[in-house]
């Protein structure tokens, strides 16, 4: 699904509210509160979307959760398309005047006026009312489903986009490493034992080792310390 669809829905929901406020009209009555909640919930879900999409490859429950979110988002997109069409229809109904080439204003019948007259017929008006009620009902239903999806989000403990940015894509455990480089001047103590250990590590046979190998097939050197 990706982040693009949710970003689009969030933008469109905000545009619908802004347009209705500017025009001082409600094309779909009684859903402004629901629209505001939808926008807020989509923003919350968008913050965990990247982590969820990565985890769905290994977690079947996350995959199912994302599928439900995807279906709900597409349903919301369809509703917004119908709502946008209704807004455009309302604009056309109000378009009865047009300016002529001289800059004056006069009343003239156009194809838009004819269409507006048709849309004002009782049958068309009732159809519009039914459509707007259907849109309102679907919006409320989508909000219920989306809130349920958002409540399920808590059980997955997703990382938000801000958390992932702070932590980075991967977290590595630091491990101590040792080096096989021997700095001879910095080794102090028993020189003979030191020589045996160094020669053993470097694969060089010392005179002491040669004598021991004549009587023993194997020689064990114990090294105790950090490394």
**pLDDT tens column, 109-148:** 444 544 554 555 666 767 777 888 899 999 999 999 999 9
Chain-centre distance for alpha carbon 107: 52
Please say if the pLDDT value at position 65 is more than 90: yes
Structural domain boundaries enclosing 61: 2-100+107-167
User: Do residues 139 and 78 share a domain?
Assistant: yes
Do the domain assignments include residue 18? Answer: yes
> pTM of the entire structure?
0.61
**Structural contact between residues 72 and 142, judged by C-beta atoms closer than 8 angstroms:** yes
**Number of independent structural domains in the chain:** 2
Work out the average pLDDT over 211-223.
54
Question: How many other C-beta atoms lie within 10 A of the C-beta of residue 176?
Answer: 6
Our separate counts of H helices and E strands in the chain read 9, 2
User: Do residues 146 and 198 share a domain?
Assistant: no
Do the domain assignments include residue 176? Answer: no
* pLDDT for the residue 223: 56
Higher pLDDT, 199 or 107: 199
Query: Which residue(s) pair with 61 in the sheet?
Result: none
C-alpha–C-alpha distance, residues 163 and 51, integer Å: 10
User: Do residues 193 and 135 share a domain?
Assistant: no
**210 phi, psi to nearest 5 deg:** -65, -40
Do the domain assignments include residue 200? Answer: yes
Please say if the pLDDT value at position 173 is more than 50: no
60: phi > 0 → left, psi -120 to 50 → alpha, else beta; which?
A: alpha
Work out the average pLDDT over 88-96.
71
Quick one: CA torsion of 158, 160, 161, 162, rounded to 10 degrees? -140
When mean pLDDT is compared over 88-92, 131-135, 180-184, the highest value belongs to: 131-135
User: Do residues 42 and 123 share a domain?
Assistant: yes
Do the domain assignments include residue 208? Answer: yes
**Structural contact between residues 1 and 68, judged by C-beta atoms closer than 8 angstroms:** no
Q: Which of 148, 167, 188 is nearest to 50 (CA)?
A: 167
C-alpha–C-alpha distance, residues 81 and 12, integer Å: 10
Please say if the pLDDT value at position 215 is more than 70: no
Token pair belonging to 42? 């989509």
Three-state DSSP class for residue 209:
helix
Do the domain assignments include residue 172? Answer: no
Please say if the pLDDT value at position 96 is more than 60: no
Query: Which residue(s) pair with 106 in the sheet?
Result: 98
Least confident range from 94-98, 100-104, 142-146, 214-218: namely 100-104
Higher pLDDT, 194 or 8: 8
């Amino acid at each position: 699904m990706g982040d693009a669809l949710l970003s689009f829905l969030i933008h469109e929901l905000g545009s619908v509210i802004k347009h209705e406020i500017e025009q001082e009209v409600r094309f779909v009555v009684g859903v402004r509160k629901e629209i505001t909640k939808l926008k807020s919930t989509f923003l919350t879900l968008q913050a965990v979307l990247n982590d969820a999409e990565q985890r769905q490859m290994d977690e079947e429950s996350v995959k199912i959760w994302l599928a439900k979110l995807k279906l709900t988002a597409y349903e919301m997109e369809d509703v917004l398309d119908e709502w946008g069409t209704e807004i455009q229809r309302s604009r056309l109904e109000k378009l009865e005047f047009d300016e002529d080439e001289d800059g004056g204003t006069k009343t003239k019948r156009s194809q838009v006026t004819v269409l507006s007259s048709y849309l004002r017929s009782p049958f068309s008006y009732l159809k519009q009312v039914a459509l707007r009620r259907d849109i309102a009902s679907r919006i409320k239903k989508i909000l219920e489903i989306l809130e349920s999806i958002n409540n399920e989000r808590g059980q997955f403990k997703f990382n938000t986009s801000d958390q992932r940015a702070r932590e980075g894509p991967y977290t590595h455990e630091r491990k101590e490493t040792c080096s096989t480089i021997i700095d001879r001047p910095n080794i102090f103590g028993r020189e003979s034992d030191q020589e045996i250990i160094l020669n053993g590590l470097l694969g060089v046979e010392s005179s002491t080792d040669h004598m021991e190998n004549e009587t023993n097939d194997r020689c064990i050197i114990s090294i105790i310390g950090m490394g």
